[in-house]
Amino acid sequence: MPTVKLSFSSAVWAVLVKDTVCESRTRYAVGILVMFGLTSLSSVSMAVAGAALSPEFAAALLWVVLFFCAMAGLARVFVQEHETGTLLGLRLYAPGQAVFYGKLLFNQILLAGLSCLIVPLFIVFLNVNINEWVLFTLILALGDAGIAAVSTLTAAMVIYAQAKQAIFTVLTFPVFLPQFLSAIYATAKVLSGSAPAMEELVFMFGYDAAVVAAGVLLFDYLWQE
Amino acid sequence: MNRKVIAVVIAIWIAGVMYAVFNLVPPVEGLGNLVRLAFFHIPVAWVSVLAFLVSAVTAGQYLRTRQLKYDWVSASSAKLGLLFCLLATVSGAVFAKLTWGAYWNWDPRQTTIFILFLLYGAYLALRSAIEEEERRAAVAAVYALLAFLTVPFLVFIIPRMYFSLHPEPVLNSVGKIDMEPVMLYVLLAALAGCTALFGLLLSSSVAGKTIPSGKGMDE
């Protein structure tokens, strides 16, 4: 047993690096996210086949695609620990909060990468115009942070459940709904050329902060044996 | 034994409320006799929200004390809540069809009750997917609390997204100023009756769980 006591930030960092190394060996989550993103976006694009989309409709499509792509890959952070039998080791070596933050950051990075893939394709396939890039990126970042925070918690809930993947989506959607609706609302405004009100962005930020705070408070109850 | 007496009292009470709804409540201007449906719809909607609250509070109690009795209350309350939520949604949709012309149009109230329905459904699906009792209790409790956290956000966001036709919580947006006292009293009586019914169903459902497992409530 190593006796070196890691500081909190280096414990978080260690969890993040461990997950990244594991992922770089199998490329399971990245592969699934990329292919799921491509499949869902192209199916949407083919289905509407060049029809002019209203900003509201385009915004809704973007977030539906992003959400369901995220659902395909983000449960991995905890499910994979269970499948490979490393859950107990992680429990022994890392404090619960460090695991939560590490996995949250990992999911956050995955989602940011996914967005970098989806958004350009979205613009190309669906022919939308974005003038306010700063605002658009901000909304995307806030929405992604919401998905990552909720799904890190729900992923920890489905570790011992049957039909993990399906139940993961079912659990995440209603909790994510407030952010989902406001992200669509704000994105639609940006796509139609106007700027969303400041309080909408504050609301989105508040939601992210509240879910992360809930995660900090509740995660230990999920993590303790 | 005791529960039977209470059940009889509640049954008589509800019968009395039904008599009042059909005989004492006057038809309302604009809604006519349809207003009588509200005396069913409002109480069941109220109980579905109350059940959600009870479920979240007992979930918190479970996490604090780790006594399984709180988990049973939380789960039973969620199950009953789902049932009442369904009744509220269906009666609301019928009411909407008769007054607005469509069963469903994503009115804020309809959206809210539907999200409540999704949350209850997800909670119960989660419970049925985990076999180990203590693990299920802890995970379900965390989910109940997480779900409860989103409620204030929904209250803020949903009215901004959709336009509402729904009457104000205290019915009678039609004859707003002169809600007749008799309607108010009957409504309060109906709310009390429905809440008592919920309490009775909850306690008998929790009691039903304690007997077969052989563990007392006070373990």
pLDDT in tens, A3-61: 567 788 888 898 899 888 988 888 888 888 889 889 998 888 888 877 778 888 899 99
CA distance A25 to chain B (A): 30
A45 and A28 Cβ atoms separated by less than 8 Å = no
Q: What is the amino acid identity at position B72? A: W
| DSSP-derived secondary structure for chain B | -HHHHHHHHHHHHHHHHHHHHHHTSPPBTTTBTTHHHHHHHHHHHHHHHHHHHHHHHHHHHHHHH--HHHHHHHHHHHHHHHHHHHHHHHHHHHHHHHHTS-S----HHHHHHHHHHHHHHHHHHHHHH--SHHHHHHHHHHHHHHHHHTHHHHHHHHHHHS---PPPSSS-STT-TT--HHHHHHHHHHHHHHHHHHHHHHHHHHHHHHHHH---TT-
Task: Compute φ and ψ for B28, nearest 5 degrees.
Answer: -95, 145
Instruction: Report chain B residues whose CB lies below 8 A from the CB of A185.
Output: 157, 160-161
Residue A125 near residue A88, CB atoms below 8 Å: no
Residue of B nearest to A182 (CA): B157
pLDDT at res. A141? 95
For residue B105 the two structure tokens come to: 């149009």
| pLDDT, tens only, B164-181 | 666 655 444 444 445 677
Distance CA B20, CA B114 (A): 30
The lowest-confidence range among A77-91, A169-183, B25-39 is B25-39
Average pLDDT of chain A?
89
Measuring CA to CA, which residue among A51, A69, A86 is closest to residue A159?
A86
pLDDT category at B184 given cuts 50, 70, 90 is confident
Minimal CA separation from B125 to chain A, in Å:
7
Report how far residue A22's alpha carbon sits from residue B212's, in angstroms, rounded to the nearest whole number: 46
pLDDT band for position B219 (cuts 50, 70, 90): very low
- pLDDT tens per residue, range B83-103: 999 999 999 888 888 888 888
Q: Does position B61 have pLDDT exceeding 50, yes or no?
A: yes
Strand partners, B32: B28
Q: Is A193 helix (H, G, I), strand (E, B) or coil?
A: coil
Block residue for tokens 């139940």: A167
> Residue A106: what residue type?
F
Token digits of residue B17: 């409320």
Cα distances from B144 to residues A178, B49, B61, B195, in angstroms, run 16, 13, 12, 21
Q: Which residues of chain B have a Cβ shorter than 8 Å from any chain A Cβ?
A: 63, 115, 118-119, 121-122, 125-126, 129-132, 135, 138-139, 141-143, 145-147, 149-150, 153-154, 156-158, 160-161
For residue range A57-85, list pLDDT tens digits in order.
Answer: 899 999 999 999 999 888 888 888 888 88
Percent of chain A exceeding pLDDT 70 equals 97
Query: Which of B111, B139, B162, B163 best probes binding to A when mutated, by most A CB atoms within 10 angstroms?
Result: B139
Q: What sign for the dihedral angle of Cα A110, A115, A120, A125?
A: positive
Q: Which two tokens stand for residue B207?
A: 């009691």
Q: Does the distance separating the beta carbons of A161 and B63 come in below 8 Å? A: no
pTM tops 0.95, yes or no: no
Rg (alpha carbons) of chain B, rounded to whole number: 19
Q: How far is residue A67 from each of residues A111, A191, B73, B155, B188, measured CA to CA in Å? A: 10, 19, 33, 22, 43
